[in-house]
Structure formats: C-alpha cells, structure tokens
Amino acid sequence: MDRKKDAAVVEALRREQANAVQLYLQYKGYHWNVSGPTFHDLHLLFDAHAKEIFETIDDLAERQRILGAPADYTLEAMREASKLVVEPALPPTSMEMVEHLVASHRRVIETLKKGVELADRAGDPGTTDLFTRIVLAHEKMEWFLREILETPSA
C-alpha cells in the first residue's frame, strides 16, 4: 500500500481517537458512579458501551499509522484534540448521565460524518469505511440511550 499522509484526514483520525478516549472515560466514570433504581441496567449498559467504544480507539490509531503518521497517546494530546465537553462535576442523577452521553454521542456522530466527507474527498476509502462503521455504532448507542429518556405513552 502506498502510504500517503493527507494532513486533514490524519487530523480527523486524531480527533476521533481523542473523542473515543474521552467518551470511554466518560462512560467508565458513569459506570463506576451510577446509582438509584436504574443502577443495575445502566451499570451494565454503560460498561457494554464503554467496551464497544474502547475497541474503536485502536482502529483509529492504527489507521493513522497506516497513513504514515504517528498516533497520539498522551492524555494531554487527547484532551486537546477532543471535541467533547468534559463536565466539571459528576452529574447528580442517572438520567442526567444518560442525557450527557446522548449529547456526547451526537457530537461524535457529527464530527465523524464530517470525517467521512473529508476522507471521501481525499480519495481515502479505508478511512471513509472506518468512520462509517463507527458512525453506525454511535448511532445505535445514542438510540439506546435516547430510548431510556423517552416517556412511555399511556
């Protein structure tokens, strides 16, 4: 494979890797701290989603290497590259945790879709495919969380 380094595509990969690390940490923090009547279900769901997101981190870093760029690995680099909002304090309720996660997923979906367009314009089908697969996963996780927030109709 011809290792081509398109700077904009590499930056998109770095951003998504950082977003994934940040969202993984957000999920694990909520997994450890969730409480209340929905504890059991949310504790398990948060952990399952965290594992799914964790799996994407390696793919995003390795894609950077395939393109001939180094992959960031420090928390400082991740914090700088991430487009997610880190709340200053743990949300006080489990439903607020879910709301924060929905917002994080929506932001990641938005930035991933921009990455798809960028990679497609750059003629990089590998990155386009990677971003597309990750978008699908985030859309499904966001849907699961959004359904928790729905009020059942009588």
pLDDT band at 6 (very low <50, low <70, confident <90, very high): confident
Res 46 pLDDT > 80:
yes
Query: Residue 153 has what pLDDT?
Result: 65
Using CA atoms, how far apart are residues 64 and 11, in angstroms rounded to an integer?
9
Of 3, 6, 25, 26, nearest to 14 by C-alpha is 6
Res 3 pLDDT > 80:
no
Q: Does residue 2 lie in a domain region?
A: no
- Segment 45-52 mean pLDDT: 98
Using CA atoms, how far apart are residues 115 and 30, in angstroms rounded to an integer?
28
Residue span of the structural domain in which 50 resides: 7-148
Averaged confidence pLDDT in the chain:
94
Count structural domains, the chain: 1
Q: What is the CATH number of the domain that holds 69?
A: 1.20.1260.10
Query: Residue 1 has what pLDDT?
Result: 38
pLDDT digits (tens, 9 = 90+) for 70-108: 999 999 999 999 999 988 899 999 999 999 999 999 999
Q: Does residue 153 lie in a domain region?
A: no
